[in-house]
Amino acid sequence: MVSVVYEAPETVQDAVTLLVNADLKATVMAGGTDLIIQMRDLVTESRLVVDLKKIPGMMQATITEKGLQLGPSMCCAEITSRDDIKALYPGLVESAYLIGSTQIQGRASVGGNLCNSSPAADTIPALFVTGAQCLIIGPDGERTVAVEDFVTGVGQNCLGKGELLRLITIAKPAANTSDAYLRFIPRTEMDIAVAGAGVSVTLDDEGVCTAARVAIGAVAPTALLVPEAAEALIGTKLDESALQAAGQASSAASSPITDRRGTVEYRRHVVGVLTKRAAAIAAQRVRGDKA
């Protein structure tokens, strides 16, 4: 007999206890946009579903002097409607906006996207370039990992049994810093990324790039930080040749596969184009902010 058990604990501790003691396959639910499809495809599998949305703070985001504290289950539609978040991390908000339709954004969350750990997740490269940190709570207490260490493989992450993602924190960006995220899809909406690129840049008063982070998605088993691409940008005025070099570095760093969404050659090429364009947009945002 197949059985599905649903629990919506109201404290983190209760959630952890449920997960630790589960004798069924335990799955954590945020927006459910990936999980419910998996449940439909595996009707013969019994499972415990632990819904985290009733836990205080999971659905909230606050901005302080230090930066953003993002409840991992807050839906993307809520994030994209928050001008204060957008002002600081436009690339992250872009990535949240790109996830599925309006309806999907009404459920899907950044934390869910991260924990589902798909290679093509849009928010993951965007989080990478912001230097986000993940607060994890489990039976052995709390720990914090950098977002680039969170995802470990296709559909895999560093969460152990009983652990859950409690909070995503992102430091306030340095002055004259902005970011951008672009992805490529065949249509204008709805599709899963064929390739994605997030770029964050800091410019000095002369317009010279003093710091940069570049991350790419859907072109390797996990999203990747590409330091070579960042280096190609740092010290330049982000002219065409610097952008081109960053793009080439992203293409070189990628190790994509061929599937129904794209070929190796195509993905490798396009991730370079996206890197170049995202860097230009991020730079324009800094310049625009100054103007």
Between 187 and 291, CB nearer to other proteins: 187
List the one residue from 23, 65, 187, 291 that touches other proteins (CB under 8 A): 187
Between 35 and 215, CB nearer to other proteins: 35
CB of 105 to other proteins, least distance (A): 9
Sheet holding 47-51, edge to edge: 4-7, 47-51, 25-29
Q: Which residues contact 219 (CB under 8 A, 6 or more apart)?
A: 119, 195, 254, 255, 256, 267, 268, 271
CB of 50 to other proteins, least distance (A): 12
List the one residue from 1, 23, 64, 141 that touches other proteins (CB under 8 A): 1
CB of 228 to other proteins, least distance (A): 21
Residues 51-90 that bind other proteins (CB under 8 A): 51, 75, 77
Phi-psi domain of 235 (left: phi exceeds 0; alpha: psi -120 through 50; beta: other):
left
DSSP code, position 259: B
Q: Determine the interface stretch with other proteins among 33-41, 133-141, 160-168, 217-225 (rule: CB under 8 A).
A: 33-41
Is 254:267 a contact under the CB 8 Å cutoff? yes
Residues 211-270 that bind other proteins (CB under 8 A): 259-263, 266, 269-270
Phi, psi of 133 (to 5 degrees): -120, 145
**Strand, coil or helix: 270:** helix
CB of 190 to other proteins, least distance (A): 6
List the one residue from 44, 65, 205, 206 that touches other proteins (CB under 8 A): 44
Give the span between the Cα atoms of 207 and 146, in whole angstroms.
29
CB of 148 to other proteins, least distance (A): 26
CB of 210 to other proteins, least distance (A): 28
First to last CA, the chain: 65
Query: Residue count at the site for other proteins (CB under 8 A)?
Result: 45
Is 197:251 a contact under the CB 8 Å cutoff? no
Site string for other proteins, 89-118 (x = CB under 8 A): -----------xxxxx-xx-----------
Q: Which residues contact 138 (CB under 8 A, 6 or more apart)?
A: 16, 159, 160, 161, 162, 163, 164
Our finding on whether 191 is near other proteins (CB under 8 A) is yes
Sign of the dihedral defined by the CA atoms of residues 183, 82, 53, 145, in that order: positive
Contact residues for other proteins, defined by CB under 8 A: 1-6, 8, 31-33, 36-37, 39-40, 43-44, 49, 51, 75, 77, 100-104, 106-107, 184, 186-192, 194, 259-263, 266, 269-270, 273
